Structure formats: C-alpha cells, structure tokens
Amino acid sequence: MTALTESLSAEILASGPLLFSRFMEAALYDSQQGYYRRERDPFGKQGDFFTASQLQPVFGRLIAAAVGDCRRQLGDPADFRVVEWGAGRGEMQPYLEEFGHIAIDVGRGASPGRFTGVVFANELFDALPVDVVRVSGGGINLMRVGWNGGAFTWEIAEPLQSPWREYVERLAAHFDDRSELLIELPVRLEQTLAGMAEPLERGFVIAIDYGYTAREIVRFPRGTLMSYRRHQAIDDVLVDPGIQDITAHVPFTHLAGCASRLKLRENRFESLASFLLRTGESDQFADALKANDDRAAAQLRLQLKTLLFGMGETFRCVTLEKEGAPKS
Ligand SMILES: C[S@@+](CC[C@H](N)C(=O)[O-])C[C@H]1O[C@@H](n2cnc3c(N)ncnc32)[C@H](O)[C@@H]1O
C-alpha cells in the first residue's frame, strides 16, 4: 500500500468520499508523496512518458524562434521576459535563457512583478486537478472517490449544482446517446490561467496541450482521465496514487471562454504542427536543424519529424494576446 493510499483512505474513513479533484491534487502534488513532488523523475526513457520538451534541441530552438517573433511584434521592449509555467525538468531553460527565462512549477519559482513578454506552458493544463460528473437518465451527479474492500472506488454522489451544471448540460447536448456519460470539470483552469496572465502587462500566452473543443467531446463518452506508468496508458486512475501520472484532456472551448473573461484575445488556435511549420518556415527549419555532423543532423531531423507528425496533430497550440492599457 502506498503512503498516499494510507492517508487518503484514512481521510475517506474519517470524512466520507472525496471529490476527485482532492484525490488528484494529492496524487500529483502532495508535498511529500505526490507524483510530481517525489525524487523519482517521471519524464523520459526511464520514466513514464515523454513530452515535447524532451525533444531537444529542436523543440527548444523552435519555441525560442516563436518567442523571438513575439518580442519583435511587441517592439523589442527592454523588460521583455518569458515566464514558463509547469516547467517540469527545466529542459526549455537553455533555449529561452536569452529572453530572461523564469521557470515556475509547483513549489518552485515565482512570477516576476509586472512584465512584458510571453507566458509559455507545455502540457500544464492537462495536469491540473479536475472533478468528474456522471450524466445518466437519473440526472447529473458528481462522482466521488470512496474506499471499499481495500481499494479506491468510484461512487455516485450529490447532484451537480450551478454553474458547472450548465457547463455539463452544454457539453452533454453534443451527444446523441446521453444514457451514460462521464465528463470532467476543469475546476482549476480559470484560476491558473488568471495567475499566469495577471502579471503580464502586455504580450502573449502560448500554451501547448492535448484536448478537445466542445464539439469534439463526442469522442469521449467515458471522459478523458488517463494514467501513465512506464510508457503504458492505464485506464484505472484510482490505483496507487502518487505512483502513476493522472491527466485529463484540456477542454479548449472552456479555455477560450476563460481567456475572454480575463481579457486575453485568442489570436490563434491551431495544431502543434501548424504552429511549428509557421515558426520554422522563414528559414526552412535551418536554425532548428543546425548540427555539427551527419549523425547529429539525422537525430535532429528525427526530432522534427516526431514533433510534426508524431505529436503535431494530437497536440494543439493556443496563442492568446494581452494588450497593454492605452497610454494616457
Ligand atoms: C506534464 S508535466 C509537463 C512538464 C514540462 N512542461 C514538459 O513539457 O515536460 C506538467 C507540469 O506542470 C506542473 N504544474 C501543475 N500545476 C501547476 C501549477 N498550478 N503551477 C505551476 N506548475 C504546475 C507539474 O508539477 C508538472 O511539472
């Protein structure tokens, strides 16, 4: 039994079944036992999954080129910075250093005071805790995590209230068959985006992630929660909290609504492939593929291929713009 299994089951026995966001928060971010807070490195070959940030130097060079474009668009301001949220292992640092890179992750780093520049996030939003709702003939209910027979189990709990009820009704309306659906509530998304954008005086938020638009939710009648362990996808997200990753696809239509409430204008919503193609087109990827010998050149071409064709259509890139207050 993991240490978190012990403490979470004790919490359930003392206070009743938990909201899934509480379970996911502890599983990923408990300061001692959370998946992202433990000593063990979850990323890369020896870990549980790869992200684009491990495809270096090509990903770093292309993001640096995109950030450079943003700096030019903003008129090369002296206080330009790039603040990366959910920086993980810090692989972007060497490529974004020239832009005054600041790395933020849970328990590490802090946003500067007001700044002009870029807020960058790769696979941050899919790692935010969510709640889970069941839609059925019987109504719309929250799902909670119980402890039965020595294992965590899903329990149908109280009816869902406003405003999330309307959120679920809007999404559920896209399905022809609504006899049983599971839908996640992105309960931390807006406050996280607000924290990212608040210190930004003027500039851009660039976020890369996997997810769905409201219409695309029909692909996920059972929700999108997934765990990863040793490069295998695992459906049961309640097993061994703290040992395996838990993710939920990002609801991009909701993200766009949050952005608009925060006065961030959505400039682009595109596939990662399209974002990278636009970024690399000015020099036909020459800078990104610069190498000292043939072997290194072949490796970089393989990285670009993986980014464009392996991840390029699955991942999306959202570019939001914050315009400065008009000068008086
Ligand atoms: C899937 S990992 C991606 C890491 C890195 N960006 C990459 O591409 O490899 C998600 C990261 O987001 C971090 N994270 C989650 N919630 C966060 C928050 N509210 N603020 C900052 N970082 C957060 C996690 O600790 C984790 O390092």
Q: Model confidence over 97-109: pLDDT tens digits?
A: 999 999 999 999 9
CB 2 within 8 A of CB 240: yes
Q: What are phi and psi of 99, to 5 degrees?
A: -100, 15
Q: What residues does each domain of the chain span?
A: 3-26+129-185, 52-127+189-211+249-322
Per-residue model confidence as pLDDT tens digits over 219-266: 999 999 999 988 889 999 999 999 999 999 999 999 999 999 999 999
CB 74 within 8 A of CB 80: yes
Give me the pLDDT at residue 49, please: 78
The SS3 call for residue 50 is coil
Per-residue model confidence as pLDDT tens digits over 14-27: 999 999 999 999 99
Q: What Å distances lie between residue 41 and 34, 96, 112, 132, 229, CA to CA? A: 12, 22, 27, 28, 12
Per-residue model confidence as pLDDT tens digits over 3-15: 999 999 999 999 9
Cα(190) to ligand 1 centroid in Å equals 16
Which residue type, as a one-letter code, is found at position 131?
D
pLDDT band, very low/low/confident/very high, at 325 (cuts 50, 70, 90) = low
Give me the pLDDT at residue 44, please: 79
Q: What Å distances lie between residue 229 and 41, 180, 270, CA to CA? A: 12, 28, 29
pLDDT band, very low/low/confident/very high, at 39 (cuts 50, 70, 90) = confident
Does position 204 have pLDDT exceeding 80, yes or no?
A: yes
**Options 3.40.50.12710, 1.10.3720.10, 2.60.40.2470, 3.40.50.2020; which CATH number does 52-127+189-211+249-322 get?**
3.40.50.12710
Give me the pLDDT at residue 326, please: 56
Cα(228) to ligand 1 centroid in Å equals 15
Averaged confidence pLDDT in the chain: 95
Q: What Å distances lie between residue 161 and 12, 56, 133, 175, CA to CA? A: 22, 45, 11, 21
Q: What is the DSSP letter of 38?
A: S
Closest by alpha carbon to 51, among 319, 307, 326, 252? 307
- Measured from CB, residues less than 6 Å from any atom of ligand 1 are 36, 43, 51, 53, 85-88, 104-106, 122-124, 127-128, 192
pLDDT band, very low/low/confident/very high, at 52 (cuts 50, 70, 90) = very high
Give me the pLDDT at residue 2, please: 87
> What are the residues facing 60 on neighbouring strands?
none
Cα(89) to ligand 1 centroid in Å equals 9
Going by alpha carbons, the residue nearest to atom 24 of ligand 1 is 86
For range 43-53, the mean pLDDT: 83
Instruction: For ligand 1, pick from 51, 106, 126, 193 the residue to mutate: most ligand atoms within 8 Å of CB.
Output: 106
pLDDT greater at residue 1 or residue 264: 264
Does position 327 have pLDDT exceeding 60, yes or no?
A: no
pLDDT band, very low/low/confident/very high, at 138 (cuts 50, 70, 90) = confident
